[in-house]
A and B are shown apart, each in its own frame.
Chain A
Amino acid sequence: MQVKITFPHAGEYYVVFKDLLSNLGYEVVVPPPTSQKTLDIGIKYSPAQACLPFKITLGNLIEGIEKGANVVGMIGGKTGICRLAYYSEMYQKILADNGYQVELLAVKVKKEFWVNVRKHHPTLTLRQFMKTIRDFWQKLIIFELIRERSLELRPYEINKGDCTRMKQRFLRELEQTSESSRLKALKQEIIKGFDSISIDTKRNVIKLGLVGEFFLLIDQFSTLNMEEFLGNNGVFLKHSLRFSEFFVGSLKQKRFLDNYLPTHNNKVYKLAKKYITRPIGGHARESIGEAIVFKQKGYDGVIHLYPFSCMPEVVAGSIAPKVSSDWGIPILSICMDEHTGQAGFQTRLEAFTDMIKRKKYPSTAVDYKN
C-alpha cells in the first residue's frame, strides 16, 4: 500500500513539514489552505466545546484525507496537562466514526517517531533519518527568519505590500529548495532581500508583543489576518513563541535546562512566579511571563490571544489585568472562536493600538474635537 500522509496546517508551516515528510520517503498530500469550508467541516465533526485549533486542524485533516491520504501526521501533543494531549485520540475516534480509516503518525522529537517511520520505510537508516531531521531544523529556522523579518519591516515599508510579496517569494523558494547545501546561500539571500525593501524609519511605530495560545499565534486564518492588519497600521509585532521552541518544548532535557539554568524560559518562569507558581498546562505561565519580558524589553503593549474554552489560557487571561496594572503595560486579552467577526475584532485592535499611539506620540495624535 502506498503511504500517503497528510497533516494539519499551522499558518504557512506546511512548507517545512512537507519537506520533512517527503524526505523521509512519504508521498505528501498537503490539504487545501485553511478556509471557511475547512472550519465548517471541523465544526460539523468535533464536539461543540472543543477549542478552535482542534476544529480547524480536524477540518484540515478531513480535507487532506478526501484528497487521498491514508496516514495522518499529528505534530506535537501527547504530553502536557491541557487537552492537546488527547488531540490524536480524538482525531482517531472522530475520523473512524465518520468512516475515514486512517493511521496516525506522531511527528515529534521522540524515539516514537523514528520507530513509526521505520515501520513504513524499513530501508531507512538512522543516519538518513537524522540528516533529514537536521535539514528540517535548518529550514524551520530559515522559515522563522522570513516570518520575523516581514513582521518587523511591514510597519516601515513605503510601498504597501512589499513585505508580503517578499515573504511569498522566499517561501516559494524555500519550498523548492531541497538540498541542504543551498540553504545557507538562501539565508543570505533572504537577509539581503529584506534589507533591500525601501523603508521610512521616521514613522511613528509602536511595538507590540504577542502572547497566548500557540496555534493562534501562528495561524493567520483563525486570527483573521491580524498580522497584516496590524503591520499596515504601524505596529511592529513580535511573537513570544516560535514553532521551533514549541517543537522541542516537550523534551525532558529542555525542561530540565529551563528549570535550573539561566535560559530565556527560566527568566520567564521566574517573572511569572508571582502570578502562576507552577505549570498549569498549555502556555499559560509563559503568557504571563513573556508579557512582563516584553515590558522589560521596552515594548509598548501586549496582545494576548486564546481560543474560547482553552482551560489554561482562561486562567492567564483572568490574571492579565493584574499583571497589566502591576507592571504598567497595556494588555489586550482577546478570546477567539469560530464566530469572531472580522470587523469587530479589528475595531478592538484598532482601539487598542490607537490608545497606545496617542500615549506614545501625544503630539501627533489626531484631535477628534475639530
Chain B
Amino acid sequence: MGNGKNNQLLASKVIGIPRGLSYYLDNFSWEAFFEILGYRVEYSEDSSVETFEAGNQFVGSDQCFPVKVYYGHVIALLKKTTTIFIPQYTSLEEGTYCCPKVIGLPQLIKNTIRQEFNLITAEIDLGRSNFTRFNMLLLARQLSWNPFRIFRAVTYFDQNRKGLSPEIPAAEKVVGDGQNQGNNGLIGVVGHPYALQDPLLNMGILNRLREYGFDLVTSEQYPRSGAQTNCPVYFNRRKPHWDFGRNILYAVQSMLQDKNIQGIIFITFFGCGIDAFLEEIFKDHICDQKPYLSLTLDEHSGEAGLMTRIEAFSDMMIRKEGKNRNAG
C-alpha cells in the first residue's frame, strides 16, 4: 500500500459500493468520506432478479441468499467502474463479532469473481478504535497523495463514527413512511437489517403487511445497545456475541413486553447459521405469548406460498383481535 501507487485506481475516480449486507447496517456516509479524498461514489441499483442472476454463476451453492445477491451487486457495479469498496466489518462494539461470512466478505468476493478489478477494503472493528483509525488511514493513503485530504478524511471518519456505533438505532433508514395507517394492529418484524430493507430479499413482505392494514415495528428501531441487552432467559444470561444476534434478541424481548405489539414475524434466510440458533432460543418464548410467524426465505421461495402464509397469519391476527373486541 502506498500513496498514488495504484495508478489505475487514481485514474477512474469512481468508487462503487454494492447495495447489500453491510450497506444497510451503517449510517455513516461513505460518499462524504470519499468525496474528501476526491472520489465519487456510485451505489449499485436496488436489487432485482436480474442482479441476482448476474452474480449467481460465481457463488458457491451453499452460500446464503443475501450473499448471492451481493455478488450480483458487485457484478452490476463492475459494468460502471473498476473499483469496488467493501468495508470489512468485523465488530460493531467491544467483544462482539459480525457473521463470519460478513467478516470474510472482501476476500470472498476478491477470490471468487474471475474478473479483473480493484477491490479496496478496510477492516472496521469499532471495539478497537485505534486499530480502525489506522486502517482508515491506510485506506485513505491508498486513494490520495495529499496528506491534508488524508487527514481530513480520517478525522471525518472519527467524528462521524458515532453513526456506526451501537447506541444509535438505525431508525432513519427504516423503509416506508406509513405511520398509523393501518387499523388491524401492530406487528413486530424481526430480522437482520438487509432482510428488512431489501425488497428482493424479503419479497416485499413489509409493504404487503401494510396493504393488509397492519402497522409495523421493525427490529431496527431497537438499539443494539450493549448494556441493555441482558437476556435473562435466553442463552443462559450470556449475550450472543454476534452484533445482530444481540439486536434481534433485544428486539424480541422488548416486543414481547410491549402490549401494543400483537404478533411477531421473524424473517430469516436458508443457511443462516446465526438465526438457526437464535430462533431456537426465542421461539418457545414467543409462541407462549403472541402469534408468531417464522419465514425462511431463499432464492426459490415461491410468491404464492409466501402470500398464503402471510394471509393465514393476518387472518389469524384479525380474528383474534375481533374476538377480543367482542369480549371487551
Residues of A within 8 A of B (CB): 46-51, 81-83, 85-86, 89-90, 92-94, 97, 275-278, 280-282, 284, 308-312, 314-315, 317-319, 321-323, 335
Binary per-residue interface labels of chain B (92-134) against chain A in the complex, 1 for a CB within 8 Å, 0 otherwise: 0000010111011001100110000000000100000000000
Q: Which of B235-275 contact A (CB under 8 A)?
A: 235-236, 238, 240-241, 270-275
Q: Are the CB atoms of A311 and B60 closer together than 8 Å?
A: no
Q: Please measure, in the bound complex, the distance between the C-alpha atom of A125 and the C-alpha atom of B156, giving whole angstroms.
A: 58
| B302 → chain A closest CB, angstroms | 19
B62 CB contact (under 8 Å) in A85, A284, A314: A314
Q: Which of B65-99 contact A (CB under 8 A)?
A: 88, 90, 97, 99
CB of B299 closer than 8 Å to a CB of A: no
A322 CB contact (under 8 Å) in B99, B111, B273: B111
Enumerate chain B residues within 8 angstroms of A319, measured Cβ to Cβ: 107-108, 111-112
Q: Given A83-B277, A86-B235, A93-B281: A311 and B100 within 8 A (CB)?
A: yes
Q: Please measure, in the bound complex, the distance between the C-alpha atom of A323 and the C-alpha atom of B112, giving whole angstroms.
A: 10
Q: Are the CB atoms of B97 and A93 closer together than 8 Å?
A: no
Q: Are the CB atoms of B107 and A86 closer together than 8 Å?
A: no
Q: Are the CB atoms of A309 and B273 closer together than 8 Å?
A: yes
Enumerate chain A residues within 8 angstroms of B103, measured Cβ to Cβ: 81, 278, 280-281
Q: Given A284-B100, A319-B111, A319-B112: A86 and B276 within 8 A (CB)?
A: no
Q: Are the CB atoms of A49 and B112 closer together than 8 Å?
A: no
A280 CB contact (under 8 Å) in B100, B236, B274: B100
CB of B306 closer than 8 Å to a CB of A: no
Enumerate chain B residues within 8 angstroms of A317, measured Cβ to Cβ: 60, 62
Enumerate chain A residues within 8 angstroms of B240, measured Cβ to Cβ: 86
Q: Given A89-B235, A308-B62: A281 and B100 within 8 A (CB)?
A: yes
Enumerate chain A residues within 8 angstroms of B62, measured Cβ to Cβ: 308-309, 314, 317, 335
Enumerate chain B residues within 8 angstroms of A90, measured Cβ to Cβ: 277, 280-281
| A99 → chain B closest CB, angstroms | 14
Question: Chain B CB within 10 Å — which of A48, A86, A89, A309 has the most?
Answer: A86
Q: Given A47-B279, A311-B101, A335-B62: A97 and B107 within 8 A (CB)?
A: no
Q: Given A93-B281, A317-B60: A310 and B104 within 8 A (CB)?
A: no
Enumerate chain A residues within 8 angstroms of B101, measured Cβ to Cβ: 311, 314-315
Q: Please measure, in the bound complex, the distance between the C-alpha atom of A81 and the C-alpha atom of B62, giving whole angstroms.
A: 19
Enumerate chain A residues within 8 angstroms of B276, measured Cβ to Cβ: 47-50, 83, 309
| B86 → chain A closest CB, angstroms | 12
Q: Are the CB atoms of B100 and A315 closer together than 8 Å?
A: yes
Enumerate chain A residues within 8 angstroms of B88, measured Cβ to Cβ: 277
| B69 → chain A closest CB, angstroms | 15
Q: Jot down 14 A-B pairs with beta carbons below 8 A, ordered by A.
A: A46-B280, A47-B276, A49-B272, A82-B273, A86-B277, A93-B281, A276-B104, A311-B101, A311-B273, A311-B274, A314-B63, A315-B107, A318-B63, A323-B111
Q: Are the CB atoms of B238 and A49 closer together than 8 Å?
A: no
Enumerate chain A residues within 8 angstroms of B280, measured Cβ to Cβ: 46-47, 50, 90, 93-94
Q: Given A83-B273, A309-B276, A317-B60: A278 and B99 within 8 A (CB)?
A: no
User: Which of chain B's residues has its CB closest to A92's CB?
Assistant: B236
A81 CB contact (under 8 Å) in B59, B97, B111: B97
CB of B284 closer than 8 Å to a CB of A: yes
Q: Please measure, in the bound complex, the distance between the C-alpha atom of A280 and the C-alpha atom of B108, giving whole angstroms.
A: 11
Enumerate chain A residues within 8 angstroms of B281, measured Cβ to Cβ: 89-90, 93
Q: Are the CB atoms of B112 and A318 closer together than 8 Å?
A: yes
Enumerate chain A residues within 8 angstroms of B99, measured Cβ to Cβ: 311
Q: Please measure, in the bound complex, the distance between the C-alpha atom of A311 and the C-alpha atom of B281, giving whole angstroms.
A: 19
Q: Are the CB atoms of B284 and A97 closer together than 8 Å?
A: yes
User: Which of chain A's residues has its CB closest to B90's CB?
Assistant: A278
Q: Please measure, in the bound complex, the distance between the C-alpha atom of A50 and the C-alpha atom of B272, giving whole angstroms.
A: 9
Enumerate chain B residues within 8 angstroms of A46, measured Cβ to Cβ: 280
Q: Please measure, in the bound complex, the distance between the C-alpha atom of A312 and the C-alpha atom of B104, giving whole angstroms.
A: 8
Q: Please measure, in the bound complex, the distance between the C-alpha atom of A92 and the C-alpha atom of B273, giving whole angstroms.
A: 19
Enumerate chain A residues within 8 angstroms of B279, measured Cβ to Cβ: 47
| A289 → chain B closest CB, angstroms | 13
Q: Given A86-B235, A86-B240: A49 and B270 within 8 A (CB)?
A: yes
Q: Are the CB atoms of B60 and A282 closer together than 8 Å?
A: no
Q: Are the CB atoms of B111 and A82 closer together than 8 Å?
A: no
**4 further A-B pairs in the complex, CB-CB below 8 A; given A49-B273, A278-B123:** A86-B277, A275-B111, A314-B62, A323-B111
